[in-house]
Structure 1
Amino acid sequence: MPADTKTQRGARVVLIPPPLYYVAGIAAGMAVNALVAFPVGGRPVTVAVGAVIAALGLALAFTGVAAVIRHRTTIVPHHQVAVLLTEGVYRLSRNPMYTGLATAYVGMALVFGSWWPLVLFPLVVLVVRALVIRPEEEYLAQRFGRDYADYAARVRRWL
């Protein structure tokens, strides 16, 4: 079964919530680590640094969520958005929620003390880009036209 399908309005329905791609990457990395240990860093320092990185990532993601809620639109990928967010954290990144989750992923890999999730990280980012971000960008381009094209030209996808 594909990870997404089309709705009547043409936007893709993302059947797997985007945060689960990041969770799956960490889980897969730790499963591999259980078979073939690939430790990273000295435990206390690595855990502390990882926790700070994860917290910063989650703060960025939740700042994006708060902006969506404040503007009374939706974080659900296949629901119709009410407005194009271009201010606040959305001036820095077109995808602050996914950027924050990616940052938190890196931090959690350090907290868990394994290189394996970091080895899988590029694959996780590519999957999120292909299955979530690309369809969202196509939808936003169709929904907001020139306004989205101008926004995409001046604001980076990540950071």
Structure 2
Amino acid sequence: MTDHQQKPGQQKPGQLKPGQPKSGLIPWPPLIYVAAIAVSIALGLLYPLPWIGGLLGDILFAAGWVALFGVVALWFTAVRTMIRAKTTLHPNAMPDHLVTTGPFAVSRNPIYLANTLLMIGVALISGIVWFLLLAIIAAFATQKMAIEGEEKVLATKFGKRYRDYAKKVRRWI
């Protein structure tokens, strides 16, 4: 038997066991942000709202680029930390390890935080106000449809370790 074959009855890493809580209501939580981005663009084209001009507009434009560089750094370090911990990157899979280092020492959800910051950064660069509103809606939807379920899975699998971590580290920032 090769190392990629599975014995009968053996569970794959990251696979949910029967009776364990499922992590979320949506099969792939980043779809929430993809939808929010699409709606923001459509609303920006159909119903453009005024944006701030002048010096403040230039400052917000620069802040948007800073936010986007922060997004890239946050995504990269979060993914690298998860890979080093040898746990799944798929948000609906059963995690193999509780990751509490790197960006996970500051936020329990750094990738979702980065997705929200991406939308805010794009709003500041493009001047499309809809991105700001939809970023808030996407963050709320992600919390309700993904994060709260993921937290139940983590609490079930890691017990007191996860509960202690959740008391120490905030959900977002």
> Which stretch shows the higher mean deviation, 135-144 or 44-53?
44-53
Query: Alpha-carbon deviations, 1:33-80, whole Å to 9, x = none?
Result: 211111423365544331221221231122111100111111102212
Moved more, 59-68 or 44-53: 44-53
Task: Give secondary structure in 1 for the equivalent of 2:83.
Answer: helix
**Do residues 21 (structure 1) and 32 (structure 2) align?**
yes
The structural deviation recorded for 1:147 is 0.5
Number of residue pairs matched by the alignment: 154
Q: 1:16 to 1:58 in 2, by over 3 A?
A: farther
Could you tell me which residue of structure 2 aligns to residue 147 of structure 1? 161
Percent identical residues: 36
Which segment drifts farther, 97-106 or 147-156? 97-106
1:35 equivalent to 2:66? Answer no
Contact 2:106 2:170 in 1 (8 A): yes
Q: 1:47 to 1:27 in 2, by over 3 A?
A: farther
State the Cα deviation string for residues 94-127 of structure 1 (Å, max 9, x = none). Answer: 1111111111110012222111121222211111
Q: Measure the CA separation in 1 of the matches of 2:34 and 2:123.
A: 11
Cα deviation, 1:17-36, whole Å, max 9, x if unaligned, reads: 22232222122122112111
Q: Does residue 72 of the first structure (1) align with residue 92 of the second (2)? A: no
Off by >6 Å, runs of 4+ in structure 1: none
- Structure with higher helix content: 1
Q: How does 1:79-94 map to 2 (within 5 A)?
A: 79-94=93-108
Q: Determine if contact 1:14/1:77 at 8 Å carries over to the other structure.
A: no
1:120 corresponds in structure 2 to: 134
CA positional deviation for 1:13: 6.0
Unaligned runs of 5+ in 2: 1-15
Further displaced range: 114-123 or 40-49? 40-49
Query: Is the partner of 1:37 in helix, strand or coil?
Result: coil
Q: 1:129 and 1:52, CA in 2 relative to 1: closer, same or farther beyond 3 A?
A: same
The change in CA–CA distance for 1:140 and 1:158 in structure 2 (over 3 A counts) is: same
Establish whether residue 97 from structure 1 lines up as the match of residue 111 from structure 2.
Answer: yes
Query: In 2 relative to 1, CA 7–50 (structure 1 residues): closer, same or farther, beyond 3 Å?
Result: farther
Q: Structure 2 residue aligned with 1:53, among 54, 67, 74?
A: 67
Q: TM-score, normalised by structure 1?
A: 0.85
The amino acid that maps onto 1:21 is I
Q: Note the C-alpha offset of 1:132.
A: 1.0
TM-score by length of 2: 0.79
